[in-house]
Every structure is written in structure tokens, then in C-alpha cells.
Structure 1
Amino acid sequence: MNLNQHPSEIQGVSLESIAREFGLPLYVYDGEKIVSQIRSIQEAFSDVPLKIKYATKALSNISILKLIRNAGAGIDAVSIEEVKLGIMAGFDPVEIMYTPSGVSFSEIEEAVKLGVMVNLDSIPLMKQFGKQYGNQVPACIRINPHILAGGNAKISVGHKHSKFGISIEQLPEIIATVAAYDLNIAGLHVHTGSDILDAEIFLRGANVLFEAAKNFPDLRFIDCGGGFKVAYKAGDPATDIREVGDKVSKAFQDFCKEYGRSLELWLEPGKFLVSEAGYFLVEANVVKETPTITFVGVDSGLNHLIRPMLYDAYHDVYNLSNPKGGNQSYHVVGYICETDTLAADRVLPEVRQGDILVIKNAGAYGFSMASNYNSRLRPAEVLVWNGKAHLIRKRESFEDLVKNQVQLEF
């Protein structure tokens, strides 16, 4: 995506026509962009046996999963529901990595019955898994590499104090547990965090796994996780996926020679695949001038896009309806009954009541983190594919909001 450009159409379909057809607020996804992101990773790692496991939590719409499957990727699921969504979307269970954190063992048992690869992220879980399955069910082990990396602290998950994975300092205990329960360990996994820019960070995580792998003679794959950074505004750096591919592939090839045979290299991109493909369209309900700030109140808020309030995330915004208007500074705010800022101090072409604003980089952790807070309804989702806009999720109704509530009579 050229962040200096503000597209009025996707694949030849105007965003205004999509807004008229499906209503606002609305999530719109560019399917070609998702596929091109997958292709860029495949090309960057073309020298190694690569398997892409899309991080489903970023955007889990079944039609998006089908598109990703057709492009040759598998998925990484963090809940049993994501596993089931993947199977519903047509993924073979062997294409699914299941990486839970602190779930009940009954969920692990269900995943095993479904036939997916389970990623074990604690020694107690390793022991319980071993008691139940011994060496009959292959599994992966998630290692915490003690690498502080990524953007916001809430998405940095590989540091020493993170809840995720088993500390690399506990490797002797991991090895002893594998031996005691005769565990069938097929892979080792590491994920240091999101918004990682430097190829050296991926190399450091990979090298932790390469060294640990010497203690596991029957591995089939090494999983280096994901977390590639995307740009959110002009001038933002982004992960050079070609550089990461070159450096990690070379290190992986050297490792395989030392290990004595070729393994598969797994990656788990999420945001990288879908973030730039997503556009969130909202309507300006009111332009409210105060002595210090001009607010644009829109027909959405943190219930639909929580990242700005949760992570202080930056999303570029542009005025689709009045691109040639005179520039003014605005706070774009939502309709939720608390501080609900989507974009602060943004210079935009004059915004008028009824104008359509477009929020960019909305594909990842937009709809997937949406809620019914304030008893608001979640928006529709549209996928543009082959030059046509397809509805892939209906807009919620009030009946959807209350259908699972049980009313008592008093």
C-alpha cells in the first residue's frame, strides 16, 4: 500500500458504491492484497520448505479463511472455536496449528480428536498431555526465548516475564518431561511479539530454537512465529520481508545441515497478511467545533475498532466524500459513552455531516475484536474479489443482540 494514496476504489469497485449498497459502518477487504501478501512471503522464503500458518485471530471470517486456504496457506488457531472455523472453511486438520494459552484440558482433548497439531506451552500441560497420549499423538512445544521485541508492551510476548511458552531456562526440565512421558515432539515454536521490524530479532528467536532442537531428534518442523511489522502512515518503517527471508532461510539451511536432515520452516503471519487489505468506512454524524478542538463524531467507535484506545494504535484516515476540500485539523471520535478517539489531531479535507471517512489498515484486529459494548450492533463485512464486492457477514440486528438473553418475569 502506498500510504500517500487514498484509494477511492478497490479492484475497480468504488468505495462509495460499496457504502451505498451495504450501508455504514462497514468493513471492506481487498482480497487481492491478502493473496499478494501471502505470495511475498512465499517468494521471500522460496529456498526452504515453507509452510505459512495464518494467525486466525487477526481476522477470522470464514470467507477470508477460504481465500487464504486457496492461496496455499494453513492456519494457526488460539482457541478451539478458531480450529472449528478453520475446518469449516475447508482446511484439513493437518494444516492447522493449535496454540492455546491456559485453556482447560478438555479443549486440548477436543483438538486432538479433531486431528490438529497441539502446541504445548507449559510443563504442567506437557505432563498432562503425556499421561493422556504418551507418544501416540505428535505435539509441538512453545519456547519462550526471553527476547523483548515488538511494538506495544501488550503485544510483546517473548520476554522473560510473558505468560506465553516455556522459558528457555527450563530446557533441562522440558527434556526430562519429554523423556519421562515418551512425548512425540514434532516441532518447536517461538513467537516474540508483533510489529517486529528487525530481521535480527527473527534470527535471534530462530537461533534459540536451533540450539534447543539438538535435544529433539525426531522433529519435523521449526516454527518461527510471526509479528512482521506493517506501515500505518507515510514514513513508517515496515519489515523488509525479503531481508528476513534471506537471513532466516540461510540460517535455517545451515541448521538443517547440522541437524542431519531437512525440516519444514513454519511461519505464522497474521497482521501482515490482512491489515493493509482492510478499510473501515464510517459516516460523519456531526462536526462539533469547540474553542480548542473540532470534533468529527462518526457512526462507530471503540466497539468496532478498539485498537486506537487499547494500544494507542495509529490508523490513517481520509475523507472519501470531499477529497479536494480545504484542509482542517480534527479529532475523529466515536459514539461510545466514554473517551472514544479513533484519530486525534488529523489534518483532513473539510469534513461535512454525511461525509464518508475511511480508516485504513483495518483488516487486522478490527472486526475480530469488535463487541456489542453500549449494546451497539456490529457492522457488516464485505470482500472485494475478482472485481466484485461480496457480502461476507451480515450487519447485526437488534434481534441478534437479544436472541441469547433469557428474560425472567418479575
Structure 2
Amino acid sequence: MEKKTFVTKEQLEEIIKTYPTPFHLYDEKGIRENAKAMKEAFSWNKGFKEYFAVKANANPFLINLLREYGFGCDCSSYTELMLSEAIGCVGEDIMFSSNDTPTEDFQYAAQLGATINLDDITHIDFLEKAIGKIPERISCRFNPGGIFEVCNGIMDNPGDAKYGMTEEQIFDAFRILKEKGSKEFGIHAFLASNTVTNEYYPMLAKKLFELAVRLEKETGAKICFINLSGGVGIPYTPDQEPNDIRAIGEGVHRVYDEVLVPAGMGDVAIYSELGRFMMGPYGCLVTTAIHEKHTHKDYIGLDACAVNLMRPAMYGAYHHITVMGKENLPLDHKYDVTGSLCENNDKFAVDRMLPEIQKGDILVIHDTGAHGFAMGYNYNGKLKSAELLLKEDGSVQLIRRAEKPSDYFATFDCFDFYEKLVEKQNK
């Protein structure tokens, strides 16, 4: 099954006349349709709220699209809190889920009225010292340890993860927090990453719902919400079937009725913190082939590199590639598709079968809407690319300009040397 692009070659040729490659392009229509589906999938739960994982894509234009559907922000740092406040997202619209958290981050989160999700039992004292009290509304992150197996061989290893409290610790934490004045409690957990199955959320939900029943019974803490966090993934490879968020929502509903309702906890709100699922398929990296090299292997060199999309270089992640205008040609050429960094792992694909590529061909690298631009960096003095939004009416909006050399040099104390250099070059 071939993955389809949400933009045509003709559209890209027009866009490139104004905005040269490389750039990240996002699909407004796809984002909106997905947000609507997410809301519908959990409409059975009166208190449901999706907190978009800002770390996945911190562009305020895109986050504001989700805000139109009542979504909040899941933040993990001071700067992400700043961004959320800047777009009017404050109070219970912010879930602050952090680890190894600095004092000032807790202080800012409390100032904004965010719901703070504690990663460790020792953070209770740390938070109290940081803000002078324990909030009335608080959440704790749970890590059961061991291996979490979903189905069809999909598993993850919470026991190796640095996040969350043990079962014994979360019981102790709830008792301590209750003694210190907390009145509204939540539970949070993230046990598997990028699952492409409709079973993950219902399985996680059952585990958390059963824990919630015991916590409320044994500690007397009033549990108001259960945060299923992220982990619902996307099909990066063409052979994978995408998750059905409505089926996922119904699966969670079924477990909710089985576990929480009989326990008298039918008023508990369900939260999620999806980033990849909300935005991933609705972004792509658009790049141009600028070199070809034939040595021990055949290489295609692009004007994009790992600073534009780090995932393949970082851990060999697969991102599908479409050579625009050649979608129906045979995949009869084997290439390593590379960028220009002085690192051998700067490859978008290794031994990938593609149609024959010529210099000047436009390539679309799929599924970069989450953990794409957001993971960018400036190694080798490379500058981050522009971000564009393909609007529902077919027009294109620049939602982040490309970096300039002046941006790269701006944080140096001796910034004047850059201005002198430009002066010299302009003579």
C-alpha cells in the first residue's frame, strides 16, 4: 500500500517559487478532521480533555488549531509554559508533566494554575518548598515496572524508564498529599510508545482504572481524572493499518463501564496527551535532490539534513519517501538518501528502493508533523527551515520563517563580529 501525500507536485512547484526547500509543510484540513474525530471518540466522557503534547510540535499556529476544539497543552518545561500562556492557555487547560524538574518550572506552573503531575514521590517536598504549599489539585505518574505487552508482539519496557512512581510509592504519595491538603487527585501513566493497535489505550485504561479504585478505597483520596497520556501511534510504514481513534475510544468506554462505574467512580474524567497521533501524519518535510553519488553505494543528496528531521539519524526511524511526479514508476533503484552533515548517520533512508531520482526532483518525507521540526538543532552551523501551513482553501501561510545566519550568531556575546562580517561581505 502506497502512502499518499496531502499535497500535489503542482502545488509544491508553486510553493517553492516563494519558499525554497527544505521546509516543513502542514495540512490544516487533516489536523482539523483528526481533532474532530478525537473529540467524538471520547464524547461519552463528560470531562474528557486532550492535552496536546507541546514537545511534539511547538508551533503556536498549529496548537491554536487544536485549541479551537477545546484541547489544552501538555507542557514539560518553562519555555513550553511560556508558549502556552502566550496563546491564552492557562489554568486547568495546562497539564504540567515534567521530570527532574527545576524549582522555577514548578513555580511558573503553579503561577499559571496548571495541573502539576508529579514524577516522583520526593517531588512532593521539592514542590512544597518551591511554591510554599501543596496544590489542592494534583496528579501522580505511575510506573508499574517490568514489561508492558499490548498485543501482536508490541511491548515496551516501563521497568527501564526513568519516569513515574512504583505502586507502593503512589499509594504513599496519595496519603502524604491528602494530609498536606490536596483534595482533587489524578493518575497518569505512559507505558508504551507509538503503538499501532487499537488495544493499547483500553489495556492501559483497565490497569489505571483498577489502580484508581484501590487508591480511592485505601487512601480516601478523591480521584477526579485519569490521564492516559500518549503512546497511540501512527503508521510510519505503508504496510501498517492506522489506529481507529473511535474504536479506541469505545474500548476505553467499555473498560470504564466495567471497572469504574460499579465502583461508584462514574464521574472520573479521562484525559489524554497525544502529540504524534494528533499531528504526525499531517506534516511532511519537502526537500530537493541536489546531488547524486555513485561509489560503493548509490547516494542521493538532499538540501535537507538531520537538523530538519532527526529521527532517522538518531535511532534509525523509518520515514516514507515519495518522489513527486514518480509515484507510479517502479521502485527499481536502491539508494541511501542523505543530508550534508559531517556525520555518517545523516541518512533519511538506507538501501531504500525508490524510482530513479534525478537532481532537481522534489521529495516528500512523510509523517514529520510530530517530533520533526521540534527536534531540530544547529549542528554544523545548519539553520532550521521554515514551517508552512497548507490551508483548507489551498492557500499557503508561512507560520515560522526559516532561520537566518543572524539567528545563529545572536546568542554570542561578541555578536558585533557577525555584523562586521556582513558589512565586509556587502562592500
Structure 1-normalised TM-score? 0.90
Native 8 Å contact 1:28 1:279 kept in 2: yes
2:56 maps to which of 55, 58, 64: 58
Q: Which residue of 2 aligns with 1:272?
A: 277
Q: Distance in 2 between matches of 1:107 and 1:368?
A: 20
Native 8 Å contact 1:158 1:164 kept in 2: no
1:312 maps to which of 308, 311, 316: 316
Is residue 384 of structure 1 aligned with residue 390 of structure 2? yes
1:298 maps to which of 299, 302, 320: 302
2:35 maps to which of 16, 22, 38: 38
Q: Could you say what secondary structure the match of 1:279 adopts?
A: strand
Q: 1:408 to 1:87 in 2, by over 3 A?
A: closer
Q: Which residue of 1 aligns with 2:20?
A: 23
Q: Distance in 1 between matches of 2:335 and 2:106?
A: 49
Q: Which residue of 1 aligns with 2:196?
A: 197
Q: Distance in 2 between matches of 1:33 and 1:160?
A: 36
Q: CA deviation at 1:133?
A: 4.8
Number of residues paired by the alignment? Answer: 402
Indicate the larger mover: 224-233 or 388-397. 224-233
Q: CA deviation at 1:208?
A: 3.0
Q: Distance in 1 between matches of 2:169 and 2:261?
A: 24
Q: Distance in 2 between matches of 1:47 and 1:409?
A: 59
Q: Which residue of 1 aligns with 2:424?
A: none
Native 8 Å contact 1:19 1:281 kept in 2: no
Q: Which residue of 2 aligns with 1:237?
A: 241
**What is the letter of the counterpart of residue 30 of structure 2?**
K
| Aligned pairs for 1:144-293 within 5 A | 144-146=143-145, 148-149=147-148, 159-214=158-213, 215-216=215-216, 217-254=221-258, 255-290=260-295, 292-293=296-297
Q: Could you say what secondary structure the match of 2:40 adopts?
A: helix
For structure 1, the residue ranges without an aligned partner over 5 or more in a row are none
Native 8 Å contact 1:146 1:160 kept in 2: yes
Native 8 Å contact 1:150 1:192 kept in 2: no
Q: CA deviation at 1:5?
A: 2.8
User: C-alpha offsets along residues 213-271 of structure 1, whole Å, 9 cap, x if unaligned?
Assistant: 23344222111112112111221133332332111112123404413441211011110
Structure 2-normalised TM-score? 0.87
Q: 1:375 to 1:157 in 2, by over 3 A?
A: farther
Q: 1:343 to 1:150 in 2, by over 3 A?
A: farther
Q: Could you say what secondary structure the match of 1:123 adopts?
A: coil
Q: Distance in 2 between matches of 1:87 and 1:256?
A: 36
Native 8 Å contact 1:142 1:189 kept in 2: yes
Indicate the larger mover: 350-359 or 393-402. 350-359
Native 8 Å contact 1:75 1:97 kept in 2: yes
Native 8 Å contact 1:150 1:196 kept in 2: no
Is residue 47 of structure 1 aligned with residue 44 of structure 2? yes
Q: CA deviation at 1:137?
A: 3.7
Is residue 406 of structure 1 aligned with residue 404 of structure 2? no
Native 8 Å contact 2:196 2:235 kept in 1: no
Q: Could you say what secondary structure the match of 1:160 adopts?
A: helix
Indicate the larger mover: 180-189 or 131-140. 131-140
Q: Could you say what secondary structure the match of 1:146 adopts?
A: coil
User: C-alpha offsets along residues 34-84 of structure 1, whole Å, 9 cap, x if unaligned?
Assistant: 111122222222222221111111111010111111132112111121121
Q: Could you say what secondary structure the match of 2:159 adopts?
A: coil
1:89 maps to which of 60, 76, 87: 87
Q: 1:74 to 1:158 in 2, by over 3 A?
A: farther
Q: Distance in 2 between matches of 1:74 and 1:166?
A: 25
Q: CA deviation at 1:180?
A: 4.1
Q: Which residue of 1 aligns with 2:337?
A: 332
Native 8 Å contact 1:202 1:248 kept in 2: yes
Q: CA deviation at 1:274?
A: 0.8
Native 8 Å contact 1:144 1:158 kept in 2: no
Q: CA deviation at 1:96?
A: 0.9
Indicate the larger mover: 217-226 or 296-305. 217-226
C-alpha RMSD of the superposition: 2.5
Q: Could you say what secondary structure the match of 2:124 adopts?
A: helix
Q: CA deviation at 1:150?
A: 8.6
Q: CA deviation at 1:158?
A: 6.4
Is residue 355 of structure 1 aligned with residue 353 of structure 2? no
Native 8 Å contact 2:134 2:177 kept in 1: no
Q: Could you say what secondary structure the match of 2:122 adopts?
A: helix
User: C-alpha offsets along residues 5-29 of structure 1, whole Å, 9 cap, x if unaligned?
Assistant: 345439xx81221122211111000
Q: Distance in 1 between matches of 2:134 and 2:412?
A: 44
For structure 2, the residue ranges without an aligned partner over 5 or more in a row are 418-427
**What is the letter of the counterpart of residue 191 of structure 1?**
F
Q: Could you say what secondary structure the match of 1:302 adopts?
A: coil
